[in-house]
Amino acid sequence: MNRLIKIDFRKYYHNRTFWVLSALYVVLVVFVFMGIESFLNHVVSNVGKNSQVAIPNFSLYSFPYVWQNLAYVAGFFKIFLALIVIIFVTNEYSYKTIRQNVMSGMSRVEFLFSKVIFVLFISLGVTLVLFLSAMLLGFAHTGHITTALVFGKMFFVPAYFLEVFAFLLMAMLFAFVLQKQGLSIAIFALYYYVLEPIIAFKLPDNVAHFLPLKMIAHLIDVPNSSLMKIFGVNFRETVSWMDIWGCLGYSVLFIVLVYLFLKNRDL
């Protein structure tokens, strides 16, 4: 395990692309976290100018709602992380270093796990970014802070971790199978934005719910706001066990599929 971390760490630590993309992601997400509240308020107040009911300004940052709000927003940017995973898995094929690694004495399973560890680290990293951002914004914007308020809905943080982890494993699967960088990115994006939505649309709802991206996205539902309550819409404020098991199941499935794919293949 330590050895695998060490081997893979060196591959990214000295790579400029990795740091540029990671920094870009963190800057982007933190900016969005900080700007989203005033942006939404601005949009809503513009739309509601002629409304007879006074539309209240809402706060996204107060405990305990900040956890779900920011986790939901951060979910939009996970495609960016998938890009990093795809780039680094397909690099091993384009440099043929997967060959060199196996020749030098890594087993195929070890190679696969070194990439799962990579995905795990990225997921942990971005979860930490979410945790710190939400913590700081929460403390700055909540009037009366109690422990129960802070920790009340913190389970959205591990839920976000699972969301990213399962999603990135899926990206990893695409990269291992397709091997070419451009192709993997294109097909994965196509599946994410076009194919699965179409499939989901054609299938009955109770079946479509089990599609991988649907399941992953369903983990953290759209946050309720006071505005939505006015309209009588009520989204889930919890994470369902079925979604958790579904995402875990898909994670295992993606890893097993890569294993089966690698096991008997020429490199």
Where along the sequence are the contacts to other proteins (CB under 8 A)? 3, 6-7, 10-11, 14-16, 95-97, 99-107, 110, 264-267
Helical (H) or strand (E) element with 20: helix 16-47
CB of 161 to other proteins, least distance (A): 28
Structure tokens at 253: 């499935």
Residue with tokens 């107060």: 62
Kind and range of the H or E element at 2? helix 2-13
Q: How far apart are CA 116 and CA 88, in angstroms?
A: 12
Q: How far is the CB of 82 from other proteins (least distance, A)?
A: 21
Q: Are 188 and 86 in contact (CB under 8 A)?
A: yes
Give least dist CB 58 to other proteins, A: 46
Q: Between 102 and 135, whose beta carbon lies closer to other proteins?
A: 102
Q: Residue 114 CB, nearest distance to other proteins (Å)?
A: 10
Nearer to other proteins, 117 or 195 (CB): 117
CB of 177 to other proteins, least distance (A): 17
Nearer to other proteins, 6 or 180 (CB): 6
Residue 179: left if φ>0, alpha if ψ -120 to 50, beta else—which one? left
Q: Which is nearer to other proteins, 14 or 49 (CB)?
A: 14
d(CA 40, CA 153): 22
Strands (E), the chain: none
Q: Which is nearer to other proteins, 101 or 123 (CB)?
A: 101
